[in-house]
Copies of this chain bind each other. A is one copy, B any other.
Amino acid sequence: MSNLTITAFKWVPDFAQGYVRDLRPRWACEELSLAYEERLIDVDPRPESHFAEQPWGQVPVLDDNGIKLFESGAILLHLAEKDERLMPRDAQGRASTLSWLFAAFNSIEPMVFELNEIDIFSKDEEWAKLRRTGLLDFFGQRLDRLVDALGDKPYLTGTFSVADIAMATTLRDTGDTDLIPGRPALAAYVERCLARPGFRKAHADQLAAFARNAPEPVS
């Protein structure tokens, strides 16, 4: 019996498959060879009881032997604290990992949210068309700085850590833009992260759950 349970959605529309954020704790669990149970809930409508566990009705939620967490960043950190393979135990190694973990969630992902709003949810809106170039410019400048910071290191802090799970899942969510392909060092970094067996297994497991629970086609 596993003591870890990850709450995820039963099924989501195609554009979101492989990108829902339970992918992150799934990946962390794979890196540490931690078994977990899936607890799958409806996406629409969301069960009202779920809002007591996750204020915005989102996933993932983690139950670790009765201890509950929400927000994928908090869950990643909680899992990383179990094992130095996801977070070094020396003081500077830990400090750098925390810094890059928050950088992914607060300095990079907010622009991904805005980009997805423009390119997916509001793509036919006039404001989205007018805003797009400015956002891509600003985001691109920040990514140029990320390239500088990464330098020739294979991972953000030198060795693979939970910060790379956060950053790689964030960077890959930039759709058909040239943001990552246009920066070869960053493209190589993302590819290096996503080539890890832990990512591949986590991604396959998320997709498998959606396949099992796909709605009947309307004919």
Question: Using a CB–CB distance below 8 Å, which chain A residues touch chain B?
Answer: 51, 55-57, 64, 67-74, 77-78, 91-92, 95-96, 98-103, 105-107, 109-110, 113-114, 122, 125-128, 130-131, 134, 142, 145-146, 148-149
Contact = CB atoms under 8 A, between A and B. Distances in A.
B105 A73 contact: yes
Nearest to A138: B117
A127 to B, nearest CB: 4
A92 B68 contact: yes
Given A55-B146, A127-B127, A128-B131, 20 more contacts: A51-B148, A55-B107, A56-B142, A56-B145, A69-B95, A71-B100, A71-B103, A71-B106, A71-B107, A72-B102, A77-B102, A102-B105, A105-B105, A105-B106, A106-B109, A125-B130, A125-B131, A126-B127, A127-B130, A127-B134
Copies of the chain in the assembly? 2
Contact of A71 (B70, B99, B114, B126): B99
Contact of A127 (B51, B56, B131): B131
A57 B103 CA distance: 13
Nearest to A126: B130
A102 B78 CA distance: 12
A114 to B, nearest CB: 6
A71 B104 CA distance: 10
A99 B51 contact: no
Given A55-B146, A114-B114, A95 B107 contact: no
Contact of A95 (B67, B127, B134): B67
14 contacts: A51-B148, A55-B146, A55-B149, A56-B142, A69-B98, A70-B103, A74-B101, A78-B95, A109-B110, A110-B110, A110-B113, A126-B127, A127-B128, A127-B134
A55 B96 CA distance: 12
Contacts of A56: 107, 142, 145
A143 to B, nearest CB: 10
